[in-house]
Amino acid sequence: MTSVVTGDAGFARPWRLSRRAARTLKGVTGIVLMLVAWQVSVPIIGMSSYFYPAPLDVWAAFVDLVRKGVLPIYIADSLGRYGAGVGIGAALGIVFGIAIGLSRRTSLAFSPLFKFLFALVEVAWIPIFVVWFGYGVKTIVLALIYVVFFPVMYNTLLSVRTAPAVLVNAVRSLGGGRIAVMRYVILPSALPGMITGLRLAAGFAFRGLVFGEFIAAKTGVGYLIFEGAQSQQTSRSIVGMIIMGLMWLAIDQFYLRPFERATVQRWGLIVDAADRR
């Protein structure tokens, strides 16, 4: 998105970098500048690498972790837990959201309960899950399923409730049965809500994953961050944090944003222009 503050000419100037390339280059320069400043500040601050590791220490730790096969396994484990939690939670959320949203009575009945359960902050469920299911992967994945289920289900429900009655009647009057109504009206209407809920849930779930791995895991990126600090290898902790950031950027750029663009672009107009009940 171009900044409108200073206003650029609309045409491309062949003797300069395209605007997008220039921005990317500037962004990279920013990161490089920060790394240089960090590295330079280490002797100035003059603390041990336990307190204040340098970028070079972090790089060395990264190489070490890859060489020893630790990092690939940790990343794979974390991704697996995240995928399972988000996948199952989203699937359940969509199914329940549509099922409950179809009937006015059930929506009215369950909405307050879900609002209440959603308000129960997800990190607050980890202690009780630990008591019930112990430490381990099962607890983490269950917590993730919970975290993902409610936003997805609630947003899907809302979307289904606002499916335009006009279209339902139109499909019915053209001879469409329940399946046709589902296919042509309900599901497309539910889609924006699904994606909004999914985007929200994915963010909460990612933080929940890292937190859960602090407490209840023996492998994983979150565990790396925790254990690095515990075993006084602070550089490893920072490697974990950077990997975590990169993972989230990848998830957001490659999956969440394209999904959102696809639905908003395809259905945005329809949802806005249609009647609402």
Q: Which residues, numbered 94-153, are part of the site for another protein (CB under 8 A)?
A: 105, 108-113, 116, 119-128, 130-132
- For the CB of residue 159, give the shortest distance to another protein in the complex, in Å: 19
The reply on whether position 273 binds another protein by CB under 8 A is no
38-46, 160-168, 176-184, 245-253 -> range binding another protein (CB under 8 A): 245-253
Closer residue to another protein in complex, CB, 144/171: 144
The reply on whether position 91 binds another protein by CB under 8 A is no
How far is residue 28's CA from residue 32's CA, in Å, rounded to a whole number? 6
38-46, 61-69, 150-158, 159-167 -> range binding another protein (CB under 8 A): 61-69
Closer residue to another protein in complex, CB, 180/250: 250
- For the CB of residue 155, give the shortest distance to another protein in the complex, in Å: 15
Choice from 192, 219, 239, 271 touching another protein (CB under 8 A): 219
- For the CB of residue 77, give the shortest distance to another protein in the complex, in Å: 11
The distance in angstroms from the start CA to the end CA of the chain is 35
- For the CB of residue 229, give the shortest distance to another protein in the complex, in Å: 3
The reply on whether position 30 binds another protein by CB under 8 A is yes
Closer residue to another protein in complex, CB, 129/160: 129
Close Cβ partners of 164 (under 8 Å, ≥ 6 residues apart):
185, 189, 274, 275, 276, 277
Tokens of 149: 């289920």
Choice from 13, 138, 178, 218 touching another protein (CB under 8 A): 218
- For the CB of residue 262, give the shortest distance to another protein in the complex, in Å: 4
The site map against another protein for 174-213 (x = CB under 8 A) is ------------------------------x--x--xx--
